[in-house]
Amino acid sequence: MEDETTIDLRQIFTIIRKYLLVILAVPIIATLTAGVAVFFVLEPVYQAETSLLVINQLPGQARGQILHTDILTNRQLVRTYREIARSRVVAAEVIRELNLDVSADRLREMVDVTLRGDTEIFAISVENTDPFFAARLANAVADAFKASAVRIMQVENVTVVDTAVVPDVPIRPRKLLTMVVAGFMGGMAGLGIAFVLSYLDNTFKTPEDVQQHLGLPVLGSIPVFKPQDFTQAQAGV
């Protein structure tokens, strides 16, 4: 078992040494390609976000007095308001307000509405290659949603916590991470290519290969002479 393991390891190291240029070239090419893509081809995408708070107070309830049942009701309303914010009604209002040349369905794909855990807060986020447009659109969706919520629910209980600001850093592509992943995947691909080439190579390189694969004894071998060997031999004579 130890001899078999040693032979396997030697074969692996032999393959790696033989195809070392391939193993090194593939990850380098993959990393350079990913670098060119993330720095010069792919446009950076920015995300702007505004958050809103749902507060539902009953008529006659003292201002600032919130009961536990009110909190539970608010959390249920958040899910309802989330669907209103993603509705075509809000999208159409934003398109009219900003004079956009897009369809309501296309605008809805650009806007994401997420709940903030088990709270009464939800966030409206927009992703776009233009950071100024992303912030403007997020705030416009929040304003259109507030107006639609009042009209649909007949109550004004939504407050903007944070308005969207122009983002400075794009959320993707993550340049360094992309290049590292490309280099790692390229390294794995290089190893795979090396072992595939070795597997497809069915030529005999040493006398031991003949004995191992054909089971025939080696009677003799002819050494390979290089031209410089003859030159040196003639010079010696």
Looking at residue 61, its pLDDT comes to 45
pLDDT of residue 199: 83
pLDDT grade for 95, boundaries at 50, 70 and 90:
very high
Q: When comparing pLDDT for 202 and 144, which is higher?
A: 144
Give SS3 for 206: coil
pLDDT band at 116 (very low <50, low <70, confident <90, very high): confident
The angle that helices 175-200 and 20-36 make with each other, rounded to 10 degrees, is: 150
**pTM score above 0.85:** no
H helices then E strands: how many in the chain?
A: 9, 4
Residue 191 CA to residue 106 CA, distance in Å, equals 44
C-alpha separations of 50 from 65, 116, 130, 131 in Å: 26, 12, 16, 14
Render pLDDT for 40-50 as a digit per residue (tens, 0 to 9).
999 999 999 99
E strands, the chain, where? 46-54, 111-115, 121-128, 158-162
Question: Amino acid identity of 144?
Answer: A
- Is the pLDDT assigned to residue 23 strictly greater than 50? yes
Please report which confidence band the pLDDT of residue 12 belongs to, taking 50, 70 and 90 as the band edges. Answer: confident
| Whole-number pLDDT of residue 131 | 95
CA 175 vs CA 26, 63, 114, 126: distances in Å? 19, 50, 26, 21
Ramachandran category for residue 156: left, alpha or beta (phi over 0 → left; psi -120 to 50 → alpha): beta
- Which two three-digit tokens encode residue 161? 């916590």
Q: What average pLDDT does the chain have?
A: 82
Mean pLDDT of 8-28: 88
Q: How high is the pLDDT of residue 127?
A: 92
Structural domains in the chain plus CATH codes: 2-40+174-236 (no CATH), 46-162 (3.30.70)
The rounded distance, in Å, linking the Cα atoms of 146 and 149 is: 5
pLDDT digits (tens, 9 = 90+) for 31-88: 999 999 999 999 999 999 999 988 765 444 444 444 445 556 656 777 788 888 888 9
